């Protein structure tokens, strides 16, 4: 059985370009090639890896419905395992195509996208648990609405501008184009100026950046007393829900406006 060297695995699994600083430069992207190397030598496929990632994110989501300290810690571990494997499955797929000459697995691609969509249920679980802990059912609604806004188009435009442009030029040009939002062929569609802070947050965390925020909030709730603010005590997960809600509403409305503008700019017949 052929042994794959780390260098050749890194060479053929490299994504090349990414717009997510936190997820790709500070957390798992520097580590994932080593896990990919181990998986490749164990002959574990990208499809198996993405199925394993789904198992972790489902288990973590179920645990997030509880306020028990142990469950919060295990949920945090499960989310980070999913985040790592989310990088590994893509790297294995590129290694399989570029080095082993296999065709891209449509099943693996579908399952990867399915896992991304499935992961948003974790936010609903957080809202449910916070509602149970505080007795305020409004947090269940907030968790549900966050799922809705996260499943919408809000995450796509800024990230794709950077990634696609950087493939042809460089990151500086890519971010300049992102700020101008010059991404379509018609002036009507381009005449939508984004809120730069929203795009900055999107590029800073990317996917699965908000999952990392859940991990931080869970660990803080597990190990530290609730945060005090103006004489009231708040769970860290509670603060997370309150903080993310206006951001994702704004991103969703911005993206919706952009897509409507693009659709109206298309000339038919």
**pLDDT at position 95, please?**
87
Q: Using one digit for the tens of pLDDT, what is the confidence trace for 57-68?
A: 999 999 999 999
Summarize pLDDT for 121-133 with one digit per residue, the tens: 999 999 999 999 9
Q: Which residues contact 44 (CB under 8 A, 6 or more apart)?
A: 92
16 exposure class (CB count in 10 Å sphere: 0-12, 13-18, 19+): exposed
Q: Which residue, 218, 252, 177, 185, is CA-closest to 79? A: 218
Query: Looking at residues 3-22, what average pLDDT do you find?
Result: 74
pLDDT at 250: 78
Q: Which of the listed ranges 6-15, 145-154, 156-165 does the model predict with the highest average pLDDT?
A: 6-15
The average pLDDT across 148-158 equals 63
Chain mean position to CA 234: 26
Is the domain spanning 6-265 CATH 1.20.120.1760? The answer is yes
Mean pLDDT of the chain: 79
Domain residue ranges in the chain: 6-265
Task: Identify the band that residue 181 occupies on the pLDDT scale cut at 50, 70 and 90.
Answer: very low
What confidence score (pLDDT) does residue 166 get?
57
| pLDDT over 50 (residue 182) | no
DSSP-derived letter for residue 102 is P
Distance CA 36, CA 107 (A): 19
Beta bridge partners of residue 233, listed in sequence order? 228
Min mean pLDDT across 37-46, 66-75, 170-179, 229-238 is at 170-179
pLDDT of 168 above 60? yes
pLDDT for position 21: 58
């Amino acid at each position: 059985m052929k042994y794959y060297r780390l260098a050749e695995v890194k060479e053929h699994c490299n994504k090349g370009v990414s717009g997510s600083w936190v997820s790709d430069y500070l957390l798992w992207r520097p580590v994932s090639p080593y896990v990919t190397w181990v998986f490749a030598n164990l002959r574990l496929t990208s499809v198996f890896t993405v199925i394993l990632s789904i198992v972790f994110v489902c288990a973590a989501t179920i645990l997030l419905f509880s306020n028990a300290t142990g469950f919060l810690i295990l949920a945090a571990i499960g989310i980070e395992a999913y985040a790592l494997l989310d990088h590994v499955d893509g790297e294995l797929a590129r290694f399989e195509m570029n080095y082993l000459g296999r065709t891209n697995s449509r099943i693996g691609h579908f399952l990867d996208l399915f896992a991304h969509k499935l992961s948003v249920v974790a936010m609903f679980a957080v809202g449910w648990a916070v509602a149970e802990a505080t007795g305020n059912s409004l947090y269940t609604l907030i968790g549900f609405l966050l799922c809705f806004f996260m499943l919408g188009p809000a995450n796509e435009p800024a990230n794709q501008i950077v990634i696609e442009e950087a493939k042809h030029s460089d990151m500086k040009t890519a971010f300049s184009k992102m700020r101008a939002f010059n991404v379509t062929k018609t002036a009507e569609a381009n005449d939508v100026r984004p809120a730069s802070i929203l795009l900055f947050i999107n590029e800073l965390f990317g996917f699965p950046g908000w999952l990392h925020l859940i991990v931080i909030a869970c660990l803080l709730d597990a190990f530290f007393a609730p945060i005090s603010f103006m004489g009231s005590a708040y769970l860290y997960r509670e603060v997370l829900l309150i903080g993310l809600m206006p951001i994702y509403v704004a991103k969703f409305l911005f993206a919706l406006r952009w897509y409507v503008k693009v659709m109206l700019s298309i000339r038919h017949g």
